[in-house]
Amino acid sequence: MSADSAGFAASDVLADDLQKVLVDVTALSLASKQLHWNIVGTGFRSLHLYLDDVVAIAREASDEVAERMRAIQAVPDGRADVVAQTATLPAIPEGVVSTAEGIDHAVAAITAVVATMRDVHEKVDAEDATSGDILIGYIGRLEQQAWFIRSLADRG
């Protein structure tokens, strides 16, 4: 942790941890939109709308994390090749996806992003509580979306 006339500056570790979150939330936005466009079957509309909610949260998170990185003098990298090479989300299948499969893929993608956030949170929070708070907020919102989407499969 350092401070100079420009204010607080992130360590390399903090910048790297926030970069991990940035690429995962960016990938989540893309994966969720891919599913959104290509799901078919019973329960289509509900899943379609939930996926739009996930996209909105992921886009908001990517912007907030990237802007936080700049505020603490780190450089975010959201280029497509960087996201493709470093994101931790499982692959989304090409083509049409049934709603049942879409539910599984959406929950797996959200779970991967939340796992990244939880994995880095303690270190992030120890160095910069403001960045830690950002992660906590998105963990809660994404876990809620995973619950909503998972509930679509509970037809019992």
In a domain, 132, yes or no: yes
CATH code (residue 82) = 1.20.1260.10
In a domain, 63, yes or no: yes
Q: Say how many C-beta atoms besides its own lie within 10 A of residue 149's C-beta.
A: 25
In a domain, 130, yes or no: yes
Domain that holds residue 102: 11-151
pTM, entire model: 0.93
Q: What's the pLDDT tens digit per position in 104-155?
A: 999 999 999 999 999 999 999 999 999 999 999 999 999 999 999 999 987 5
In a domain, 38, yes or no: yes
What's the token pair of residue 105?
A: 């893929």
Number of compact structural domains in the chain: 1
In a domain, 4, yes or no: no
Tell me the CB-side half-sphere exposure of residue 51, using CA atoms within 13 A.
26
Residue 76 DSSP code: -
Q: What's the pLDDT tens digit per position in 19-69?
A: 999 999 999 999 999 999 999 999 999 999 999 999 999 999 999 999 999
